Structure 1
Amino acid sequence: MPHDDFTPGTVWLVGAGPGDPDLLTRKAERLIARADIVFFDALVGPAVLDLVPPGVERVSVGKRSGRHSKDQGTIDELIVAAARGAKRVVRLKGGDPSIFGRSTEEITACRAAGIAVRVCPGITAASAAAASGVASLTLRGLARQLTFVTAHAKAGEALDLDWAGLAGADRTLAVYMGRAAAAEVSRSLIAAGRAADTPVMIAVNVSLPDERIIRGRLDALAFLAAAISDRDPALLLIGEAVVGTAVATHVEYEVA
């Protein structure tokens, strides 16, 4: 008999990918099917949640900018309490748990409580966005570095990033949660030396039926982002590698 990796009282942090259930790993689907309780983020796609079996408890613990349903400490406590109740616990996270997913806090809480916890990776939004745009995240000779940053900052605080380091022409920059900070990202990168005509791509609701790919230049980034609702998650991709090819099935804007 194969080893059971999901015994009662175990927690799995599962990457739900960008939203399309076809982009889940087979392992993620298997774990979801065996769960007794699923704690899920706001960015988990509805079609992914449809894979949770009937009768399995589903608990929304989503946090969106300005609309936090539960603080991180409460989420940690809920996960630990469910595992102590001998439940098989899935903590379902949009994208990959290790990329801006606050997985460390939940892993630490489980370990402190003596709860077995493991991680199932998922496809992160940057990879899905490049695929949707038929583009690459790296490019031989032009984009030898790939950097992930988050544009999310605490209310009232400036976006504190190493703009000089991020402005290198030989890198692709993926900016998560970047819609609201688009003007600052554009202004700061150009001030630090990145060319104003650097290609940019904004992926909105990546991999979902209402996905949009918006293309343009770095100096037009704020204008491009202004067309996006604050309810729609958006990822910014900046660099020569993301030029890609327009896909006819997408609603797409291009600003030269």
Structure 2
Amino acid sequence: MLCSPFRFFRQALCLALFGLTLAATAALAAPGTLSLVSMGAGDPDNMSLRAHKTIEAADVFFTMGGRNPHPELTRGKPVHDAEHGLFGQGGGRTRKPADEAEKLRVENRRIIREAVAAGKNVVILDNGDPTVFGPQIGYMKEFADLNPVIVPGLSSFNAANAALRTSVVAGKARAVMLTLGAVNEGRELFLAQAINEGVTLVLFMVRDLDGLVAALRGKVPATMPVAVVANAGSPAKEKVIGATLATLPEKIRGIELGPYLLYIGEAVNL
């Protein structure tokens, strides 16, 4: 017999083969992974090495709208629609009609759970910092039982700070506040107080710049320095425009900005 107890070497060989079989079985049974990966802000060159390695090891991808802006990274692997805010939280709610959104939720749950159960690595691609107004952060709660991880990356805030080439806590400024650029429900009083107390305000997703400036008029000095950083992190598109609260609307009028951050405070006196 091959595994005769009287033949030491044959017995050792049998044990080794048995161990390899167990290892192979365990590998086949091991679940896959789910990762929310930041590709950085503005340009793929801003992606971290860890993010690149995670993407290389991925088997299935989810992106906003199912678009594939970097086919050299996904290399022909399946790319599905992560949508925008499909599972709530973070950067807002889904943009699809309710029935379409629910259908996509059901489908994405199925794809992700089946893939992870089959030992595949699933990656949800995002930009900037997924935890700061990120539209895909809801996937972390929805699939918490799969122990998902976030692979951080360069945020638009980091990239915009670099574009400004100044410290956002310089001079009299001793704090920074990141918040939405909305002034509904009396938020302008809260924002104005922060600015007047020396906080550098960094506003994301400003939908109505003229309305924001009008709401702060009379509550913040008209000469308060402001800066717009558009397409932060993208060498070909990045723009930095310095102004004051009073002159900003006219200074950027007619300029195609794209996505931008608005800084308000003494620290950004360019």
TM-score bucket (shorter structure):
0.7 to 0.9
Partner of 2:165, secondary structure, is coil
Shift of 1:88: 1.5
Distance change >3 Å, CA 164–CA 152, structure 1 → 2: closer
Report the residue type matching 2:39 in the other structure. A
Is residue 32–residue 51 contact of structure 1 (8 Å, CA) maintained in 2? no
Q: Which residue of 2 aligns with 1:94?
A: 127
Asked whether 1:29 is paired with 2:56, we answer no
**More strand by percentage:** 1
Report the residue type matching 2:122 in the other structure. V
Is residue 152–residue 159 contact of structure 1 (8 Å, CA) maintained in 2? no
Q: Which residue of 1 aligns with 2:35?
A: 12
Partner of 1:175, secondary structure, is strand
Write the distance in 1 (CA, Å) between the matches of 2:203 and 2:103: 28
Q: Which residue of 2 aligns with 1:251?
A: none
From 181, 193, 203, the equivalent of 1:175 is 203
Shift of 1:8: 4.9
Write the distance in 1 (CA, Å) between the matches of 2:103 and 2:223: 45
Write the distance in 1 (CA, Å) between the matches of 2:158 and 2:48: 14
From 127, 149, 153, the equivalent of 1:122 is 153
Farther-moved stretch of structure 1 (21-30 vs 81-90): 81-90
Write the distance in 1 (CA, Å) between the matches of 2:68 and 2:167: 24
Report the residue type matching 1:182 in the other structure. L
Is residue 225–residue 266 contact of structure 2 (8 Å, CA) maintained in 1? yes
From 45, 65, 68, the equivalent of 2:95 is 68
From 172, 177, 201, the equivalent of 2:227 is 201
For structure 1, the 5+ residue unaligned runs are: 245-256
Distance change >3 Å, CA 144–CA 243, structure 1 → 2: same
For structure 2, the 5+ residue unaligned runs are: 1-26, 85-90
Report the residue type matching 2:53 in the other structure. R
Distance change >3 Å, CA 137–CA 116, structure 1 → 2: same
Farther-moved stretch of structure 1 (182-191 vs 18-27): 182-191
Report the residue type matching 1:146 in the other structure. V
Q: Which residue of 2 aligns with 1:137?
A: 168
TM-score, normalised to structure 1's length?
0.74
Partner of 2:223, secondary structure, is coil
Is residue 29–residue 51 contact of structure 1 (8 Å, CA) maintained in 2? no
Task: Tell me which stretches of 4 or more aligned residues in structure 1 moved more than 6 Å.
Answer: none
Partner of 1:241, secondary structure, is helix
Write the distance in 2 (CA, Å) between the matches of 1:173 and 1:222: 17
Distance change >3 Å, CA 127–CA 85, structure 1 → 2: same
- Paired residues, number: 226
Q: Which residue of 2 aligns with 1:250?
A: none
Write the distance in 1 (CA, Å) between the matches of 2:202 and 2:49: 26
Shift of 1:82: 2.5
Report the residue type matching 1:21 in the other structure. P
Q: Which residue of 1 aligns with 2:111?
A: 82
Q: Which residue of 2 aligns with 1:236?
A: 262
**More helix by percentage:** 2
Shift of 1:79: 4.4
Is residue 202–residue 262 contact of structure 2 (8 Å, CA) maintained in 1? yes
Asked whether 1:226 is paired with 2:253, we answer yes
Partner of 1:96, secondary structure, is coil
RMSD over aligned Cα atoms: 3.3
Which structure is larger by alpha-carbon Rg, 1 or 2?
2
